[in-house]
């Protein structure tokens, strides 16, 4: 009888241990995915900025390629963020690309880049907040079904 009870208790604790380990693993994978997506999008924005400041003759083509790459990451953000935040990121990305960079002189271009930089910093802080919020376990994280 004691052996049977030990097996049953071991089974229950083993199940619960596995359950919590899987929940923690999933949460960590979501956090890693968010960080990689945000990091890649920010890297695209930096490449776009560098292309605007130090671009070659093919500035528009290069910006188009970088814009397409950044839209891929914006699409990924729509998968795991709220619609409001995702649309804010998309709006920023669209405005950053669609500004008439070729028609601006150096001073006007730098002034416009500073405006975008301030907006980007706010988005990046929101991204950081989103990652930090995911590190906290909620009651909903531990529901069995």
Indicate whether 145 pLDDT > 80: no
Q: What is the mean pLDDT of residues 43-60?
A: 85
pLDDT at residue 61 in the model: 85
**pLDDT digits 0-9 by tens, 120-132:** 999 999 999 999 9
**pLDDT digits 0-9 by tens, 5-28:** 899 899 999 998 888 888 888 889
| Domain ranges (residues) in the chain | 26-133
Contact 36, 80 (CB under 8 A): no
**pLDDT digits 0-9 by tens, 56-96:** 777 788 888 999 999 999 999 998 888 999 999 999 999 99
- In sequence order, what DSSP letters do the residues of 9-72 get, joined into one string? HHHHHHHHHHHHHHHHHHHHHHHHHHHHHHHHHHHHHHHHHHHHHH--TTHHHHHHHHHHHHHH
Global confidence as pTM = 0.82
pLDDT at residue 33 in the model: 92
């Amino acid at each position: 009888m004691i052996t049977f009870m030990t097996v049953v208790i071991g089974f229950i604790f083993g199940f619960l241990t596995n359950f919590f380990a899987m929940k923690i693993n999933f949460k960590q994978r979501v956090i890693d995915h968010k960080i990689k997506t945000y990091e890649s999008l920010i890297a695209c924005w930096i490449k776009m900025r560098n292309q605007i400041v130090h671009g070659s003759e093919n500035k528009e083509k290069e910006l188009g390629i970088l814009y397409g790459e950044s839209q891929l990451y914006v699409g990924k953000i729509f998968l795991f963020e709220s619609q409001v935040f995702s649309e804010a990121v998309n709006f920023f990305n669209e405005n950053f690309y669609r500004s008439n960079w070729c028609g601006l002189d150096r001073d006007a271009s730098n002034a416009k880049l500073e405006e975008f930089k301030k907006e980007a910093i706010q988005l990046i802080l929101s991204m950081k907040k989103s990652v930090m919020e995911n590190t906290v376990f909620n009651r909903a994280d531990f529901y069995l079904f």
